[in-house]
Amino acid sequence: MVAELAVALPAVVLVLALVLGAARAVLAQVSCVDAARAGARAAARGEDAAVVRATAAAAAPARAAVSVLARGDGTVAVEVRSVQHLAGPLGGEVLVRSTATAAVEGAAVEGAAEGSAVERAAAVP
């Protein structure tokens, strides 16, 4: 009985660690969606790139990268990316990301040049 438990216990712990890591990745995905939406709302109100980035970063998972892109059609896109570790250093990594697009209100549309990058964040470490 003890030998079987000694063989099975590490497998149970590994499966539990992977399930918990997957749940953390799902929660990070939801946070990325919320952060991208919050950033897109701020950008649609005409806030500058620093405010948009700070708004999205406040709702994003830890160490997330935020990108803001103004498009010539009067819209702005906010992308939030985060790398999540599944089961510590041995479990691998998963990239979670979300993009939200919103129409810019009023006079802010005039300042958006087609394809101009308002701000680009560095790659997620």
Check residue 66 and give left, alpha or beta (phi > 0: left; psi -120 to 50: alpha): beta
Whether 107 shows a pLDDT value over 50: the answer reads no
Q: Is residue 125 part of a domain?
A: no
Segments forming the whole domain that contains residue 95: 2-119
32-53: string of b/e by CB count within 10 Å (b at 16+)?
A: bbbbbbbbbbbbbebbebeebb
Q: Is residue 124 part of a domain?
A: no
Query: Of all residues in the chain, what percent carry a pLDDT higher than 70?
Result: 82
Whether 106 shows a pLDDT value over 80: the answer reads no
Give the model's confidence band at 116: pLDDT under 50 very low, under 70 low, under 90 confident, else very high. Answer: very low
Q: Is residue 36 part of a domain?
A: yes
Which pLDDT value is given to residue 5? 85
Q: Is residue 7 part of a domain?
A: yes
| Number of domains into which the chain is organized | 1
Q: Is residue 51 part of a domain?
A: yes
| CA dihedral over 4, 7, 13, 19, signed as positive or negative | negative
Q: Is residue 88 part of a domain?
A: yes
**Per-residue pLDDT reduced to its tens digit, 10-52:** 889 888 888 888 899 999 999 999 999 999 999 999 898 899 9
With a threshold of 0.85, does the pTM exceed it? no
Which pLDDT value is given to residue 67? 94
Whether 73 shows a pLDDT value over 60: the answer reads yes
